[in-house]
Structure 1
Amino acid sequence: MKFNRIKEIIGFGLLILSAVLVVLILGIIIFDIAIKGFGAISWGFLIDFPKEGMTKGGIFPAIMGTIFVTLITTLFSIPLGVSAAIYLSEYAIEGRLTRIVRAAIRNLAGIPSIIYGLFGV
């Protein structure tokens, strides 16, 4: 019994050491990016258009593109999602398809949104 406790303590210590090491490395990377990046970000960088083959200038079109895509997606997905939710909760007859859709919704709800972004879903 004592040997198992020693193995548990060693394993837990290695786990903590690994977690601290990963967080430390991540912190160093973020700190390095922040220190080197703050000098490049200015008001002109944010509101200018790219110049000279996108080697100079700003990122205004990229920012506006992101905003427009987000707005259009939101305008499309909110009515569709709310309508589907109302239909499923109020009008859908219990059947095989309804059970499959509800299982899919539960599975999708259990996955963080960053994973969807990572895989482009």
Structure 2
Amino acid sequence: MENGLILKRVDILKPLLDADVIINLPKMKTHTLTFLSGAVKNMYGAVPGMEKTRYHSRFRDVHDFSKALLDVWNATKPELTLMDAIVSLEGDGPAMRGIPRRTEIVLGSTDSLSMDFAICKLI
């Protein structure tokens, strides 16, 4: 990646590389490390299994890990993001310590970063 914030190379699952369109379907929730698990972080699922583990080991600082998340998101660039926030998760999540909250919202955007900014205002 020429313009990576922290990653020089990003491995993405082949089906996503072959896709004509990527639609991102995150769930609104808080996260212990990154504070928010939204549209950008959801694209971390595009990284093959063991590579995710390596990123977690390599980028333990929240700022570095967040830069890696942005690099993954930038490598995938979903064309549409639809977020399920009907029941969101707040608190020290997403493990079992999170608390479900009825927010009764569904969001849609062609700009994942703007969506994450908007849900920061909601949480």
- The alignment's TM-score, normalised by the length of structure 1, stands at 0.22
Structure with the greater relative contact order (CA < 8 A, sep ≥ 6): 1 or 2?
A: 2
Question: Which has the larger helix fraction?
Answer: 1
Q: Which has the larger radius of gyration?
A: 1
Question: Which has the larger strand fraction?
Answer: 2
